[in-house]
Structure 1
Amino acid sequence: MIKIFGKVRYHWQPELSWLIVYWSIAIAPIFIGLSLLFERTKIPSYVFILFALFIVLVNIGFYRYFIIEDSGILRVVSLNPKIPKKIVIASIEKIEVTYSTLALHLDNGKNYIFYMRKWPKKYFLDALAVDPNFKGEVELLDNLTKLDYFEVYKDDKKAPTKL
């Protein structure tokens, strides 16, 4: 959760298999560039291109987050064309929460799964629950296997206040 320009961003990651494949591809140019640099005495120009490609891929990798707008819209910022850019908060029927995932079930039958860390997910759910447009339900799953994680939701019911 990061607050930039007055808007709170809740970061998420794609599915674990895609995450591993993406970051492997993103880190590969830096290792190729370093190995090419190690074999020569002067710096070739394509090493700079590989370093620039690495920087671009890392920036794209961190460009995934949610923004809850005041107009009742959940903006999903990502470069993935299969994920909708805007979701009406009133159309969310149910949110299933597990230890590592957050599944949004919409009223049109579509489901979207997002992987989030513990604290951004908690603050995202708290902010979504106090939104007046949200009419759905939040279902906590895996509460018997990871009981310590879900005790946070049970004990700390504070939601962020809007100023």
Structure 2
Amino acid sequence: MKKRVYHWQPELSTAIIYWSCTFGILFLSLILTLEHTRPYMTSNIVLGIFFLFAVLGFNRYFIIENESLIVHTLLPVRRKKITLATIELIRIGSNCIELTSTELRGDTQLFIMTKKNKMAFIESIKKQKLFTGKIVDDPELKIGRHY
């Protein structure tokens, strides 16, 4: 059976900084392209670097396994495997969710998700037998304000 992935982005400030730098690389490549009238190797290399960072930016997702939640991040070193039993609370905002667990950095972490991904993730985690935490719908939870 194929495992379903649920894509997310980090909290708003981190996402803005990452994507601004990524598109800065694209604009640098376009500027280098305009400097020459024929194909230019340097601009193509910089454009390739942009595509690499764009693919890495979309490589953030959750996978729910039998007894754990795997949080894939930009860097493989920072990937986390959270036991479902340690998730105490999931707060659902309009465009984000907030996980509270003892296995997370700072005990709580905010994840920006599309509504479709967010609802599919919540339905999937509710079906897990080992998940004993509470799920709270919180309309006050916003992506721009986190504590």
Greater radius of gyration (CA):
1
Q: 2:132 aligns with which of 126, 131, 135?
A: 135
Stretch deviating more after TM superposition (54-63 or 101-110): 101-110
Which aligned pairs between 1:91-130 and structure 2 lie closer than 5 A? 91-107=86-102, 110-130=107-127
Q: 2:27 aligns with which of 14, 31, 42?
A: 31
- TM-score, normalisation: structure 1: 0.77
Describe the shift of the 1:45–1:84 C-alpha distance in structure 2 as closer, same or farther (beyond 3 A). Answer: closer
Unpaired runs of 5+ residues, structure 1, are 144-163
Describe the shift of the 1:88–1:113 C-alpha distance in structure 2 as closer, same or farther (beyond 3 A). Answer: same
1:82-133, CA deviations, whole angstroms, 9 ceiling, x for partnerless residues?
9551000011111111112211111467111111111111010011011000
Ranges of 4+ aligned residues in structure 1 off by more than 6 Å:
none
Which aligned pairs between 1:1-163 and structure 2 lie closer than 5 A? 6-70=2-66, 72-80=67-75, 85-107=80-102, 110-142=107-139
1:132-161, CA deviations, whole angstroms, 9 ceiling, x for partnerless residues?
000111011117xxxxxxxxxxxxxxxxxx
Q: What displacement does 1:23 show?
A: 1.1
SS at match of 1:10: strand
Please give the root-mean-square deviation of Cα atoms over the aligned residues, in Å. 2.0
SS at match of 2:4: strand
The number of residue pairs the alignment matches comes to 138
Of the two structures, which has the highest relative contact order with CA contacts closer than 8 Å and spacing of 6 or more? 2
Q: Tell me how far apart the structure 1 counterparts of residues 48 and 102 of structure 2 sit (CA, whole Å).
A: 43
Q: Tell me how far apart the structure 2 counterparts of residues 94 and 58 of structure 1 sit (CA, whole Å).
A: 31
Q: Tell me how far apart the structure 2 counterparts of residues 50 and 41 of structure 1 sit (CA, whole Å).
A: 17
